[in-house]
Amino acid sequence: MMSKKPEIGGYIDDEEAGLIEALENEKALPVGRLTADRRKELETMARAAFSDDREKISLRVSKGDLARLKSRALQEGIPYQTLINSIIHKYVSE
């Protein structure tokens, strides 16, 4: 049976491991760096992506990349799948 808990590997340093431990023990609250302008930009990109006909896809990515992506989404204050959609939309729209 697969575990939902992400594996922690050698790609994190001691500071990151401490942060993970604090978050898991609810000793720290995440602090987003999301400005109002950046939030609006991401919401606009997400709405544009959601307004089109959507297709469900499956994608395999490395555990390390997914962990970093989820961490970045947490920093931005958005769900990681929304971040993925924003990245794809931005890439194909430029």
Angle formed at CA 15 by CA 42 and CA 70, multiple of 5 degrees? 30
Domain count, the chain: 1
> In this structure, is residue 6 part of a structural domain?
no
Phi, psi of 51 (to 5 degrees): -75, -20
Confirm whether 66 is domain-assigned: yes
Residue 22 contacts residue 28 (beta carbons within 8 Å): yes
SS3 of residue 49 by DSSP: helix
State residue 62's pLDDT score: 93
Inside any domain, residue 68? yes
Q: Is residue 48 part of a domain?
A: yes
Q: What is the pLDDT of residue 48?
A: 72
Range of the domain at 74: 34-93
Q: Is 44 within the bounds of a domain?
A: yes
In this predicted structure, what is the pLDDT of residue 5?
Answer: 58
Which of 73, 55, 82 is CA-nearest to residue 6? 73
- The series of mean pLDDT values per 10 residues for the chain, 94 residues long, is 56 75 68 76 76 81 92 87 88 88
Residue 43 resides in a domain: yes
Q: Are 49 and 84 in contact (CB under 8 A)?
A: no
Question: Which pLDDT score is estimated for 65?
Answer: 93
Query: Given this model, what pLDDT does residue 49 score?
Result: 67
